[in-house]
Amino acid sequence: MIDLHSHTTESDGTFSPAQLVEEAVRSGVRILGITDHDTFSGFDQALPLARKAGLELVCGIELSTKLNGYSVHLLGYFLRADGLGDLRTWIGDLQASRRDRNVRLIARLRELGLDITLDEVQARGGGMTGRPHFAQVLIEKGYVKSMQQAFDDYLDESAKGYVTRREPQFAEAVQHIRKAGGIASLAHPIRLREDVAALMPSLRTAGLNAIEAYHSDHSPEQTALYLQLADQHGLLVTGGSDFHGAVKPEIHLGTGRNGNLRIPEDVVDRLRAG
């Protein structure tokens, strides 16, 4: 089994890198991609553990980008994880802009009358403190009942607590991934606000070279559409569960949402060949 999309406690997952490696072995995943948001730290920690466990690890990352004013997630895969120096520097800049946003987001939420501090969210987020960690604190303090309500009432782009963060443009992020020798794959295309088929030529022009056809949020029909678009536009294909652990308990490593995912065994071979 193969799974090329997963998160650890180094971003917004609840499994530590060591626990994720264990979970992969337990569930029969043979090749695992770790794609934390804006950081390689989970992959770096998991690598020696995976080697010991006989698990093949693929170095990955998930970047939040802006495309036509909308937020679009982009996956980067590095089949050879050396020589990522420049990319790591650039990612350091993204992390700094996130920290600056978090300071302003705390101020905004406090202005709205919520008792929440930077220390509290950072205790849950560590190196990559993001809005899901803010949501967690709001739930724990009883301001909201669920992650969804936290976003709807306070954190979503359309909600009253939202503050902007400098996110890279889609094309800029693609270029950084490609320059580092990586494969740039459009994450969970079902979540795009715009029609993906219509966007495809401009995504190709930006340098995109893969699409995540297989994902826990995709129906078989949607997967078929993305495979067809990949074929039509000469894109490689990636796939993964988007495992986050206990925050999304219905999603399982390797098999997706209650078993709805089956990623062909040759996906990684094709990435290598491509």
Q: How far is the CB of 232 from ligand AMP (least distance, A)?
A: 28
| Residue 73 or 252 with smaller CB distance to ligand AMP | 73
Distance CA 206, CA 31 (A): 29
Distance CA 260, CA 254 (A): 10
Judged by CB under 5 A, the stretch of 13-21, 55-63, 137-145, 193-201 that binds Zn ion is 55-63
| Residue 50 or 251 with smaller CB distance to Zn ion | 251
> Between vectors from CA 98 to CA 93 and to CA 100, what angle results, nearest 5°?
95
The answer to whether 88 and 182 have CB atoms below 8 angstroms apart is no
Which positions from 5 to 24 touch Fe ion by CB under 5 A, shown as an x/- string?
Answer: -------x------------
Q: How far is the CB of 74 from Fe ion (least distance, A)?
A: 9
Judged by CB under 5 A, the stretch of 18-26, 71-79, 203-211, 214-222 that binds Fe ion is 71-79
| Residue 53 or 190 with smaller CB distance to Fe ion | 190
The answer to whether 40 and 84 have CB atoms below 8 angstroms apart is yes
**Interface with Zn ion (CB under 5 A), residue from 143, 177, 242, 243:** 242
> Residue with the closest Cβ to Fe ion?
73
Q: How far is the CB of 62 from ligand AMP (least distance, A)?
A: 8
CB-CB neighbours of 272 under 10 Å: 11
Distance CA 21, CA 23 (A): 5
What residue ranges bind ligand AMP (CB under 6 A)? 12, 37, 64, 130-132, 147-148, 151, 156
Judged by CB under 5 A, the stretch of 15-23, 41-49, 113-121, 185-193 that binds Fe ion is 185-193
> Residue with the closest Cβ to Zn ion?
242
Task: Write out the residues near Fe ion by the rule CB under 5 A.
Answer: 12, 73, 187
Task: Write out the residues near Zn ion by the rule CB under 5 A.
Answer: 62, 242
